[in-house]
Amino acid sequence: MSWIDEKAHRELARVRESREKQVYPYFRPFETGGLHTTIGGKPVLNFSSNDYLGLTNHPKVKEAAKAAIDKFSTGLSSSRVQATTTAHVELEERLAQYFGFEEALIFTTGYQAMVGTIVSLADENTTIVLDNLSHACILDGTFMAAGTPTRQPEVRFFNHNSVKSLERILKTKERKNTLVMIEGIYSLDGDMAKLNEILEVCDRYDAVVICDDAHGTGTLGTHGRGLAEHLGVEGRVPVVVTTFSKTFGGIGGVLLGSKEVVEHVKHFARSFLFSASLPVPILAAASTILTMLEEEGPALVAELQEKATYMRGRLVELGFHLGMSDTHIMPVMCRDERKALFMHIALLESGVMMVPITYPGVKKGEERLRVNVTRGHTREDMDMALDLLDAYGQAFFVQSGEELGEMVNDG
């Protein structure tokens, strides 16, 4: 065995152990798309999906993707520099217009969009100020910039969603220019950024806000334009990065900003320049969903919100703690790895998928089930999940927060 095999073996101890105990929860293969699918031939209702408006499997979306295959096939065999199509350009123009920005740029994933944007904008004159619950793409973009010889910005963290903590950093930062990185909705906690206050403090310190609105797009604001629309501050966030991998039915990243900034990132982001162009069938799917948002956005968002309100009310009534959540993303807090894993397995056996989030995804003691309500869930779906959550929650002392104690034996 070489050292890489030894290293892999050593570092996979936890994975091996949970597989041996038959509680390993990840990478379970779905046999069809959609919220109602099967795993190993058994029906499963997915509550960990990010298909927030339930449009990914809409017949019009599939038709558009199929038609695009006939014209452009499944891939473009190169990066955007030499593999841009009219479909990319047209969708970029429509996205910029819909979200109220001068320009948009489509990347192959949201992750790449964020990494590329940060590394292009941050240099030795920049301090990047990050929320300490930032998504991996923000962290990785920051660390990549910090580790790039020609960039090397200062990196500072502020306490999650704390404007006071942010201001302390802004007062003591060492570089001239500042990028403040936030998320519209934090994906594991389901809470919205305090954008109004953050913008106010950033204005005072001349700091530029970049908002990752992956989870707010299509879910917040009357038209689904995200957190800024929801809070009435559209036009005040200079840069938004979002994704096609949730509301927009596929995969792909979007940078929204001024003409100059987007043009700059387009010519400097290595994650854009050196990775293959997004295939046209995926663009066609996203474009069809954008049309739906343009035509009936308010009704779609309202339906999601109404379902989320119902689910939240019932979860709270049943005694579950939802952490900091104030959106359709409602983590069911278990605060114990075993409880989260057992709940997941019991629910899955009964046909409901709620993926557990455990350390290091969250801090020890903050383990939870990922519960996302989408417009695609019916009242019956939610009631079925709630009944099961209630029954298993009581069995594993999730609502009461008691210890599992003697009941469970680690061996």
Ligand X SMILES: Cc1ncc(COP(=O)(O)O)c(C=O)c1O
Which residues of this protein are in contact with ligand X, per CB under 6 A? 109-111, 114, 135, 137, 183, 187, 212, 214-215, 243, 245, 251, 253
DSSP 274-304: TSBPPPHHHHHHHHHHHHHHHHHHHHHHHHH
SS3 130: strand
From the CB of 351, what's the least distance to ligand X, in Å? 25
| Total residues found in the chain within this entry | 411
Q: Which amino acid, one-letter code, is at 209?
A: V
- Closest to ligand X by CB, 161 vs 167, is 161
Q: Which amino acid, one-letter code, is at 252?
A: G
From the CB of 251, what's the least distance to ligand X, in Å? 6
First to last CA, the chain: 29
Chain position whose Cβ is nearest to ligand X: 110
Map tokens 């109004």 to a residue: 196
From the CB of 187, what's the least distance to ligand X, in Å? 4
- Closest to ligand X by CB, 114 vs 169, is 114
Q: Strands 368-369 and 177-183: what pairing?
A: unpaired
β strands within 134-291, DSSP E:
154-158, 177-183, 208-212, 239-243, 253-257
From the CB of 227, what's the least distance to ligand X, in Å? 12
Structure tokens at 163: 């404007």
CA–CA distances in Å: residue 65 to residues 102, 106, 108, 287, 320 = 27, 17, 16, 10, 40
**Nearest CA among 410, 198, 220, 404 for reference residue 308:** 220
From the CB of 406, what's the least distance to ligand X, in Å? 38
Question: Which pairs from 67-70 meet CB under 8 Å and 24+ separation?
Answer: 67/284, 68/280, 68/281, 68/283, 68/284, 69/281
- Closest to ligand X by CB, 178 vs 243, is 243
From the CB of 114, what's the least distance to ligand X, in Å? 6
- Closest to ligand X by CB, 214 vs 353, is 214
From the CB of 242, what's the least distance to ligand X, in Å? 8
- Closest to ligand X by CB, 64 vs 214, is 214
- Closest to ligand X by CB, 54 vs 252, is 252
Q: CB neighbours (10 Å) of residue 49?
A: 23
- Closest to ligand X by CB, 49 vs 178, is 49
- Closest to ligand X by CB, 106 vs 333, is 106
CA–CA distances in Å: residue 269 to residues 102, 149, 242, 331, 362 = 19, 15, 16, 34, 30
Map tokens 């009944």 to a residue: 387
From the CB of 210, what's the least distance to ligand X, in Å? 11
- Closest to ligand X by CB, 153 vs 226, is 226
From the CB of 155, what's the least distance to ligand X, in Å? 18
Which secondary-structure segment (H or E) carries 305? helix 280-317
- Closest to ligand X by CB, 212 vs 336, is 212
From the CB of 184, what's the least distance to ligand X, in Å? 8
Using only the alpha carbons of the chain, give its radius of gyration.
22
Structure tokens at 257: 């900003």
